[in-house]
């Protein structure tokens, strides 16, 4: 019997080999340069490869840049979300109000604690959770609200925080798409009880392919996060459980009954993160320029809806999503994807995030379709190539091809 082969590369992000790609859908969301190479070299020559000064400085620089009291690196956004779920002290039977339009990590962190995701439909303009539909699903079992700032634009946080305060709920922000994004002058990850960031290769800034950050303004959580991400190890310089300073003997313990793991980031990743963070404002500016170029050129097409951008927030356009109404546009998102690929060599991605409850993981737990807006958006969207190293000429080529394929 031969080996079973699994390849993460045979996905929608990988076009057929026989197609000549002129405009790729890049799997690298932020370009690297000499600064990142120097950062890795600096770490390798230092002889200190994990949990050192680069990690500390990256956390401090992130904390300042995003206006939060505490920031801690971790291995990825998924582990950040798992820590956040544990900090909320989720237990079996607890309910968490959440969104169906998100990467699967968001709600797997809830399931991992034995808690129950309760899905709320999304705003048809932003694809973010609709705050007007949250209160109706809150019960005495509800413990938290998990929101995802989808595609690079933050949720309606004032409304969400008001609901949470009225019901005594925690709020966790999934900020995997929103490094540097803001809402009414406040940065992603600074409003809820915790913010969880991703530095995966495809994100707006990256740390050697994987990486994450968890932020909080809660003093009592700031004590626990370093233990959760590092095997529950308590060192003499660490504060006690109530936040009072040491000294204390070295020890290992659980955190609120949860068994900690190793969720740390390497020094090389942190050093690269520091270099990327300096470039992030420029990356965001370029993404916004390209997004506005697309939107202004495609907004008049029948059946095509460019991304909505609220005036009170900074959209970072991690993903540029067109909604394609097949009845009005004359063809589906899948048709347009195929035409752009085979006729023009443009690699797009049909669809947004498939609603989480449609996966087998949820179906076998009894979940059924409950969010028609989310389902329609997921089935009728098309992601165009957008990244800082996309040229104006490439963007204009995409625009011309889309217009041609839609008869304009």
Q: Which residues are catalytic?
A: 203
Q: Please give the helix or strand (H or E) that residue 213 lies within, else none.
A: strand 212-216
Q: How many residues does the chain have?
A: 408
Which of 394, 399, 396, 403 has the alpha carbon at shortest distance from 24?
394
Report the side by side order of strands in the sheet with 116-119.
70-74, 212-216, 194-198, 170-174, 142-148, 95-98, 116-119
Cα distances (angstroms) measured from residue 3 to each of 9, 10, 11, 174, 269: 17, 17, 20, 37, 32
Cα distances (angstroms) measured from residue 234 to each of 50, 79, 126, 352: 17, 20, 43, 42
Q: Please give the helix or strand (H or E) that residue 143 lies within, else none.
A: strand 142-148
Residue with tokens 């956390």: 59
* Chain center to CA of 308: 18
Q: How far apart are the first and last CA of the chain?
A: 54
Residues β-bridged to residue 349: 383
Instruction: Report the distance separating Cα 267 and Cα 39, nearest Å.
Output: 9
Q: Please give the helix or strand (H or E) that residue 60 lies within, else none.
A: helix 53-65
Q: With contact defined as beta carbons under 8 Å apart, do 130 and 182 qualify?
A: no
Cα distances (angstroms) measured from residue 170 to each of 34, 142, 191, 195: 42, 10, 11, 12
From the number of C-beta atoms within 10 Å of its C-beta (0-12, 13-18, 19+), residue 237 rates as exposed
Q: Calculate the dihedral angle through the C-alpha atoms of 401, 405, 406, 408, rounding to the nearest 10 degrees.
A: 60
């Amino acid at each position: 019997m031969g080996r079973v082969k699994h390849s993460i590369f045979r996905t929608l992000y990988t076009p057929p080999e026989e197609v000549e790609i002129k405009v790729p859908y890049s799997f690298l969301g932020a370009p690297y340069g000499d600064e990142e190479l120097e950062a890795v070299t600096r770490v390798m020559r230092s002889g200190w490869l994990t949990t050192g000064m680069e990690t500390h400085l990256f956390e401090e620089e992130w904390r300042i840049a995003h206006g939060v009291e505490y920031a801690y690196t971790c291995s990825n956004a998924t582990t950040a979300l798992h820590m956040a779920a544990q900090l909320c002290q989720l237990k079996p039977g607890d309910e968490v109000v959440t969104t169906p339009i998100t990467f699967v990590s968001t709600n797997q962190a809830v399931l991992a604690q034995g808690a129950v995701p309760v899905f709320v439909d999304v705003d048809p303009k932003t694809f973010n959770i609709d705050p007007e539909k949250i209160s109706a699903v809150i019960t005495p079992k509800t413990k938290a609200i998990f929101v995802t700032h989808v595609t690079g634009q933050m949720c309606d946080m004032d409304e969400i925080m008001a609901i949470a305060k009225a019901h005594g709920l925690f709020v966790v922000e999934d900020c995997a798409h929103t490094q540097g994004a803001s809402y009414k002058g406040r940065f992603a990850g600074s409003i809820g009880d915790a913010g969880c960031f991703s530095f995966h290769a495809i994100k707006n800034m990256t740390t050697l392919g994987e990486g994450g950050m968890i932020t909080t303004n809660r003093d009592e959580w700031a004590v626990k996060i370093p233990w959760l991400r590092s095997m529950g190890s308590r060192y003499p310089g660490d504060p006690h459980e109530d936040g009072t300073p040491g000294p204390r003997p070295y020890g290992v313990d659980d955190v609120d009954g949860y068994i900690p793991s190793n969720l740390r980031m390497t020094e090389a990743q942190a050093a690269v993160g520091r270099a990327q963070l300096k470039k992030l404002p420029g990356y965001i500016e370029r993404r916004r320029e390209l997004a506005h170029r697309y939107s202004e050129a495609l907004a008049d097409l029948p059946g095509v809806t460019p991304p909505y951008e609220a005036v009170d927030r900074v959209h970072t356009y991690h993903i540029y999503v067109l909604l394609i109404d097949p009845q009005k546009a004359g063809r589906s998102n899948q048709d347009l994807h195929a035409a752009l690929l085979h006729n023009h060599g443009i690699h797009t991605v049909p669809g947004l995030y498939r609603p989480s409850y449609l996966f087998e993981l949820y179906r076998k737990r009894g979940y059924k379709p409950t969010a028609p807006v989310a389902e329609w958006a997921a089935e009728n969207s098309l992601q165009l190539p957008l990244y800082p190293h996309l040229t104006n000429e490439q963007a204009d080529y995409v625009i011309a091809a889309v217009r041609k394929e839609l008869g304009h």
